A and B are shown apart, each in its own frame.
Chain A
Amino acid sequence: MSVITAAVPPVFVSPPAAPTDGLWRLSVDNYHAMMEAGILLDGDPVELLEGLLVEKMSKNPAHVLSSGLTRKSLERLAPADWFVNAQDPITTMDSEPEPDLSVVRGDPRRYKTRHPGPQDLALVVEVSDSTLQRDRTMKLRLYARAMIPIYWIVNLVEGRIEVYTDPTGPDEKPSYRQRRDYGPADEVPFIIEGRVIGRIAVRDLLP
């Protein structure tokens, strides 16, 4: 005889959450093909991180303010053959993140047909409040894997700037070997290719 069990227990009916295993990963080429075919549009709040389409968080006013302040400081100091991008894509092997700021080599026209890659970048910056966890784990991992030499987290939660340097590259556990934190009374060195371009007061970047 068959065993009759009552109604299916509630363990079955949790609300949909992304599966914890076996998510399909898209290549950067797949991602570009989706945009060319109009399957993903420029306005879609999404970025490709390690093969996954990850939703971008909306930004609160403090985030926008700090991004703007940091952008101005970097632009004021950047030498002639470097420029600053804001929330524009960069392309790595497995990802196409859109960092809050990136310091890019050369003339902007150089990037008419492709986004800047790791070899074109001196610095990427994420301004973090609600995204702090993502910026310290997934983003840090993919920037380190891509060998982006310097990564700043403008940490609005704790009011400091975290500077990550010396990336491992495509290691089993990619990471930055050095982290240095700068508080509101400190000045962060702005370094391009190992040369200090200038110093920026942390106070000037925080809201």
Chain B
Amino acid sequence: MSAVLGPVLFAPSVPVLPTEPIWRMSVERYHEMIEAGILTEDDPVELLEGWLVEKMPKNMPHRKAIRRLRLILERLAPVGWFVDAQEPITTTDSEPEPDLAVIRGDSEDYSNHPGPQDLALVVEVSDSTLQRDRITKQRIYARAGVSVYWIVNLIDGQVEVYTDPSGPDEKPSYRQRQDYGPADQVPFLIDGREIGRIAVREVLP
């Protein structure tokens, strides 16, 4: 005879994730989804290493830090460079929307999103996203060869500067990391040349 086991005892909780292999999508397919209107500009989503990932809502200190740093970078950026906030950049496997990016040329020049070769610096402001910014985003920017990556770390009150990307390595990462505390000044480099220095204190909320 069959065994009666009664209620299912291992009732799984919702939403457990993702022990399952989630399908990875190319950047081309991601663009097609946007063109077809399946994803819209307003959807808080970005493509990270082929996965559609929700963007976290930003709290006030986060927004404040972005605004402050944006003004400073815009003041310092030389002619021939501009600063964008929360706009997509395109790499071979991802289309992240970094909090800030310093981009070559004029924004009018771009019919496609900027790519790694167009970028002097990308910045993520991190509180709830610190783990994602240190792991996934760092890996994406290092793989793409973005030369300098800053994490404005609101949790520990510091700016983490990552340089010397490995490129499309098996385990992409930045070879150097330097942390700057509230009393420090972070050098703002473009193409290896120091453009100015930014007091960490002025950036942190």
**Chain A 164-207 per-residue mask, 1 if CB under 8 angstroms from chain B, else 0:** 10000000111111111111001010000000000000000000
Complex Cα distance, B173 from A102, in Å, reads: 47
Q: Which of B32-40, B81-89, B104-112 makes up part of the contact surface?
A: B32-40
Instruction: Write out the residue numbers on chain A whose beta carbons fall within 8 Å of the beta carbon of B181.
Output: 2-3
Judge whether A19 and B177 touch: CB under 8 Å.
Answer: no
Complex Cα distance, B135 from A133, in Å, reads: 28
CB distance from A69 to the nearest CB of B (A): 19
Instruction: Write out the residue numbers on chain A whose beta carbons fall within 8 Å of the beta carbon of B54.
Output: 22-24
Complex Cα distance, B178 from A16, in Å, reads: 24
CB distance from B181 to the nearest CB of A (A): 7
Judge whether B14 and A173 touch: CB under 8 Å.
Answer: yes
Q: Which of A60-68, A81-89, A117-125, A134-142 makes up part of the contact surface?
A: A134-142
CB distance from A1 to the nearest CB of B (A): 7
- Residue of B whose beta carbon sits closest to that of A176: B8
CB distance from A145 to the nearest CB of B (A): 9
A157 located at the interface, meaning its Cβ lies under 8 Å from any Cβ of chain B in the complex: no
**Chain B 10-29 per-residue mask, 1 if CB under 8 angstroms from chain A, else 0:** 11111111111111010001
**Chain A 1-41 per-residue mask, 1 if CB under 8 angstroms from chain B, else 0:** 11111011011111110111111101000100110011100
Judge whether B21 and A174 touch: CB under 8 Å.
Answer: no
CB distance from A24 to the nearest CB of B (A): 4
Judge whether B56 and A8 touch: CB under 8 Å.
Answer: no
B155 located at the interface, meaning its Cβ lies under 8 Å from any Cβ of chain A in the complex: no
**Chain B 143-181 per-residue mask, 1 if CB under 8 angstroms from chain A, else 0:** 000000000000000000010000000111111111111
B1 located at the interface, meaning its Cβ lies under 8 Å from any Cβ of chain A in the complex: yes
Q: Which of A51-59, A70-78, A106-114 makes up part of the contact surface?
A: A51-59
Instruction: Write out the residue numbers on chain A whose beta carbons fall within 8 Å of the beta carbon of B13.
Output: 173
Judge whether B14 and A172 touch: CB under 8 Å.
Answer: yes
Judge whether A34 and B184 touch: CB under 8 Å.
Answer: no
> Knowing A14-B135, A15-B171 touch, does A8 contact B38 (C-beta < 8 A)?
no
Complex Cα distance, B135 from A138, in Å, reads: 27
Indicate the size class of the contact surface on chain A. 35 or more
Judge whether A23 and B18 touch: CB under 8 Å.
Answer: yes
Judge whether B139 and A12 touch: CB under 8 Å.
Answer: yes
On chain B, the number of residues with a Cβ less than 8 Å from chain A's Cβ atoms is: 59
Complex Cα distance, B23 from A4, in Å, reads: 39
From A37, A44, A181, give the contact of B3 (CB < 8 A).
A181
Judge whether A8 and B177 touch: CB under 8 Å.
Answer: yes
Complex Cα distance, B3 from A180, in Å, reads: 6
Instruction: Write out the residue numbers on chain A whose beta carbons fall within 8 Å of the beta carbon of B52.
Output: 23-24, 26
Instruction: Write out the residue numbers on chain A whose beta carbons fall within 8 Å of the beta carbon of B113.
Output: none
Judge whether B8 and A133 touch: CB under 8 Å.
Answer: no
Judge whether A133 and B51 touch: CB under 8 Å.
Answer: no
> Knowing A5-B178, A180-B3, A180-B5 touch, does A23 contact B53 (C-beta < 8 A)?
yes
Complex Cα distance, B38 from A138, in Å, reads: 25
From A2, A4, A39, A49, give the contact of B29 (CB < 8 A).
A39
Judge whether B173 and A12 touch: CB under 8 Å.
Answer: yes
Judge whether B21 and A55 touch: CB under 8 Å.
Answer: yes
Judge whether B14 and A16 touch: CB under 8 Å.
Answer: no
Judge whether B36 and A33 touch: CB under 8 Å.
Answer: yes
From A8, A18, A49, A173, give the contact of B174 (CB < 8 A).
A8
Instruction: Write out the residue numbers on chain B whose beta carbons fall within 8 Å of the beta carbon of A8.
Output: 138, 162, 173-177
> Knowing A23-B51, A24-B53, A179-B8 touch, does A53 contact B22 (C-beta < 8 A)?
yes
A46 located at the interface, meaning its Cβ lies under 8 Å from any Cβ of chain B in the complex: yes
Judge whether A137 and B8 touch: CB under 8 Å.
Answer: no
Judge whether B175 and A7 touch: CB under 8 Å.
Answer: yes
3 closest Cβ pairs, A-B complex: A13-B171, A53-B23, A24-B52
7 contacts across the A-B interface (CB closer than 8 A)? A2-B186, A8-B173, A39-B32, A52-B17, A141-B14, A173-B13, A175-B11
